[in-house]
Amino acid sequence: MFLGAPGSGKGTQASVISQRLGIAHIATGDLFRDAVSKGDELGREAKTYMDKGLLVPDEITIRMLLERIAAADCREGYILDGFPRTLEQARTLERALAEKGEVVDRVLYFKVSTEELVRRLSGRLICRNCQTPYHPITSPPKVAGRCDQCGGELYQRSDDSPETARKRLEVYFAETAALIDYYKEAGKLVEINGEKGIEEVGQEVLDAFTNG
């Protein structure tokens, strides 16, 4: 499980490590964005919350996540990115896993200062095709406006506007940060210094997967 604030780099690292180790990468934010672009009922409902920087209600989010992790590509394990975000989500996930005799192995917490989060979120660009994030200063693409990985078009997420990004950080501190202590007490938390460059953080992440 990858835990951290919006802009902490957990999505970037989850994409890299999932490709490297061949494990499914499940990002609830990406699942919601897919639903929004399809314009189905889930997407229409989720959009009203996402546009305001608020969390989608637990009931909807949990149902979507449990369906996703029942898929065949999750049988050998998976990386959760952006889920859980509330204690209710964490507890429900644990109960659902326990029914299958499974547990959360490890929780990687990406620690980044608030100033750095604000800096990263304002100006962030995302690939429309593979969701890889870029930043004009900290991680610019080789060709302006194009993804290094797949050549896809880069765009700014509407919820990365300064006002909504601020709201998302507020929501993170009010609702999600409590999960750090929750998993620390469970003895599952591994702290990752998310302030460093992408490569260095990537090495720490890989160590967390391979040690123990």
Per CB under 6 A, the list member of 32, 109, 134, 183 interacting with ligand AMP is 32
Catalytic residue among 52, 85, 128, 196: 85
**Binding-residue pattern over the window 66 to 85 for ligand AMP, x denoting contact by CB under 6 A:** ----------------xxxx
- DSSP structural state of residue 7: T
Helix, strand, coil tally for the chain in percent (to 5): 50, 15, 35
Full strand arrangement of the beta sheet holding 154-155: 133-134, 125-127, 154-155
Using DSSP bridges, classify how beta strands 154-155 and 125-127 pair: parallel, antiparallel or unpaired. Answer: antiparallel
Q: How far is the CB of 32 from ligand AMP (least distance, A)?
A: 5
Number of residues counted as binding ligand AMP (CB under 6 A): 18
123-161 residues labelled b (16+ CB within 10 A) or e (exposed): ebbbbeeebbbbbeeebebeeeeebeeeebebeebebbe
Pick the stretch among 36-44, 46-54, 100-108, 202-210 that binds ligand AMP (CB under 6 A). Answer: 46-54
Distance of CA 184 to the CA centre of its chain: 19
Per CB under 6 A, the list member of 5, 50, 125, 190 interacting with ligand AMP is 50
> What is the spatial distance between Cα 28 and Cα 30, in angstroms, rounded to a whole number?
5
Catalytic residue among 33, 75, 168, 188: 168
By beta-carbon proximity to ligand AMP, the closer residue of 9 and 29 is 29
Q: Determine, following the binding rule CB under 6 A, whether residue 56 of this chain makes contact with ligand AMP.
A: yes
Give, as ranges, the residues between 163 and 192 that touch ligand AMP (CB under 6 A): 168
Q: Is 168 a catalytic residue?
A: yes
User: Which residues are CB-neighbours of 196 under 8 A, at least 6 positions away?
Assistant: 204
Q: Is 52 a catalytic residue?
A: no
> What is the spatial distance between Cα 2 and Cα 38, in angstroms, rounded to a whole number?
26
**Binding-residue pattern over the window 1 to 20 for ligand AMP, x denoting contact by CB under 6 A:** -----x--------------
Which helix or strand (DSSP H or E) is residue 88 part of? helix 87-99
Q: How far is the CB of 212 from ligand AMP (least distance, A)?
A: 26
Q: Determine, following the binding rule CB under 6 A, whether residue 25 of this chain makes contact with ligand AMP.
A: no
Give, as ranges, the residues between 100 and 129 that touch ligand AMP (CB under 6 A): none
Catalytic residue numbers read: 10, 85, 124, 157, 168
